[in-house]
Amino acid sequence: MVREGDGSGRILSNVVRSQWEQHRPYGGVVPEIAARAHVECLDLLIEEALGSAGLTLSDLDGIAATAGPGLIGGLMVGLTTAKAVALARGLPLIAVNHLEAHALTVGLTHGVPPPYLLLLVSGGHTQLQIVHGVGRYERLGSTIDDALGEAFDKTAKLLGLGFPGGPAVEKAALAGDPRRFPFPRPMHGRPEPHFSFAGLKTAVRQRAEALQPLDAETVADICASFQAAVAASVADRCAKAMELYELKTGPGAARRLVVAGGVAANMALRDGLAELGRARGFELIVPPPSLCSDNGAMVAWAGAERLARGWTDRLDVPARARWPLDQLAAPVLGAGRLGAKA
Ligand code: KG4
Ligand code: ZN
């Protein structure tokens, strides 16, 4: 729950119920389990969020819920619950695009207004967008194969590091040598700021297979070298996007690079981007890790921003498995996951 006023915000409560434990035995997210877990916990979660904010339903100005993109079962449970509360209490409903919630989080955490360049890196998405304003997004690039979080998760899986993989790879990499394995830097130097991680993942797999059985030092070195390749590739892609951002927004626009999504918690990635930012005169802004990965406060904030503009939704608004942030951008060739959950 958030309070919005004069374009800045305050978090009143942010209750996150993780489902990783339920999915862990299967090594990935199981849609049916995800939907059931939403049904089981949502009523209690709403009560908890109200309780820790010290509010009741009558204190609310509107109800926001994620309507997409993502796994349809969980989306329908959340959106239907929000519709029921909105109907019962006569409150406006705001159906939020989950990607927009990630894109606008820095307004809540840092009071930063658009425009800015956004790098969105999560388990389902890897995109560079210009955030021109609330509801106005321009995609500059996206992945042509795997999302970055997915590449971390697959690397962790093949090294036996568990799930979700990002934090496990980062932890193992702390003890590793990032120069031991010269993994490829995908898309390096290409003029359009797209991403690709499938080739890097294959290189990691081949190396891991060649070095079986893996000792802890080798695992750490692979993780550190993988992260170094990722950080260099992402920084190179962001450098291209910065050039486009300046061309498209003009000389007066604020030079800011905002990073959002679960992978934004990764320190190797942040360090690489901070260095790039210093070199190019861009301020790097990253929400705290708990607000980078999926959370309710960012959805409430995006809802509050839309409500402030009078943008509400009808009670028959559908949940959408696919829902690009920038409706006008052409899909990228080979990008199988553009509409997946972020
Ligand atoms: O945005 P997010 O919380 O949720 C969805 O994708 O739905 O992002 C989750 C992704 C996972 O792939 C996870 O492995 C990755 O973010 N992630 C990380 C780190 N923390 C989470 N990747 C790299 N380093 C991290 N520290
Ligand atoms: Zn997300």
> CATH number for the domain including 227?
3.30.420.40
Kindly state whether residues 98 and 246 are assigned to the same domain: no
Cα–Cα nearest to 155, from 225, 221, 234, 223: 223
| % residues pLDDT > 70 (the chain) | 95
Kindly state whether residues 81 and 148 are assigned to the same domain: no
Q: How many CB atoms lie within 10 A of CB 59?
A: 11
Buried b (16+ CB within 10 A) or exposed e, 119-147: bbbbbbbbbbbbbbebbebbbbbbbbbbb
Q: Six-digit token pair at 185?
A: 């830097």
Reported as a pLDDT band with limits 50, 70 and 90, residue 22 is confident
pLDDT of amino acid 158: 93
Residue 27 CA: distances (Å) to CA of 46, 171, 173, 190, 250: 29, 19, 21, 34, 46
What is the rounded average pLDDT of the residues 219-243? 97
Q: Six-digit token pair at 152?
A: 């971390």
In a domain, 256, yes or no: yes
In a domain, 117, yes or no: yes
Judge whether residue 87 has pLDDT over 80: yes
Q: What is the mean pLDDT of the chain?
A: 92
Kindly state whether residues 46 and 121 are assigned to the same domain: no
The string of pLDDT tens digits covering residues 167-215 is: 999 999 999 999 999 999 988 989 999 999 999 999 999 999 999 999 9
Kindly state whether residues 61 and 72 are assigned to the same domain: yes
State which ligand 1 atom lies nearest to the alpha carbon of 294. 3
| Residue owning the nearest CA to atom 3 of ligand 1 | 293
Reported as a pLDDT band with limits 50, 70 and 90, residue 234 is very high
In a domain, 335, yes or no: no
What is the rounded average pLDDT of the residues 84-95? 98
* CA 259 – CA 265 distance, rounded (Å): 9
Residues facing residue 128 across a β-bridge: 119, 141
* CA 276 – CA 233 distance, rounded (Å): 12
Find out whether the beta carbon of 123 lies less than 6 Å from any atom of ligand 1: yes
Domain of 232, in residue numbers: 113-290
Kindly state whether residues 143 and 92 are assigned to the same domain: no
The string of pLDDT tens digits covering residues 32-47 is: 888 887 878 899 999 9
Q: Which ligand lies nearest to the CA atom of residue 150 in the structure? A: 1
Judge whether residue 220 has pLDDT over 50: yes
Reported as a pLDDT band with limits 50, 70 and 90, residue 224 is very high
Kindly state whether residues 91 and 122 are assigned to the same domain: no
The string of pLDDT tens digits covering residues 115-138 is: 999 999 999 999 999 999 999 999
In a domain, 232, yes or no: yes
Reported as a pLDDT band with limits 50, 70 and 90, residue 341 is very low
| Residue owning the nearest CA to atom 13 of ligand 1 | 166
In a domain, 279, yes or no: yes
pLDDT of amino acid 336: 42
Q: Which ligand lies nearest to the CA atom of residue 290 in the structure? A: 1
DSSP state of 58: G
Judge whether residue 340 has pLDDT over 50: no
Mean pLDDT is lowest, of 35-39, 49-53, 54-58, 320-324, for: 35-39
Counting the structural domains of the chain, the total is 2
Give the phi and the psi of residue 139 in degrees, each rounded to 5: -80, 130
pLDDT of amino acid 333: 53
DSSP state of 301: H
Q: List the shell of residues around ion ligand 2, using CB closer than 5 Å.
A: 122, 294, 342
In a domain, 257, yes or no: yes
One-letter amino acid identity for 223?
C
Kindly state whether residues 46 and 170 are assigned to the same domain: no
Find out whether the beta carbon of 266 lies less than 6 Å from any atom of ligand 1: yes
Judge whether residue 332 has pLDDT over 90: no
Reported as a pLDDT band with limits 50, 70 and 90, residue 162 is confident
Find out whether the beta carbon of 69 lies less than 6 Å from any atom of ligand 1: no
Judge whether residue 337 has pLDDT over 50: no
Kindly state whether residues 279 and 301 are assigned to the same domain: no
The DSSP result for 225-276, as a single string, is: HHHHHHHHHHHHHHHHHHHHHHHHH-TTS--EEEEESGGGG-HHHHHHHHHH
In a domain, 304, yes or no: yes
| % residues pLDDT > 90 (the chain) | 79
Kindly state whether residues 74 and 158 are assigned to the same domain: no
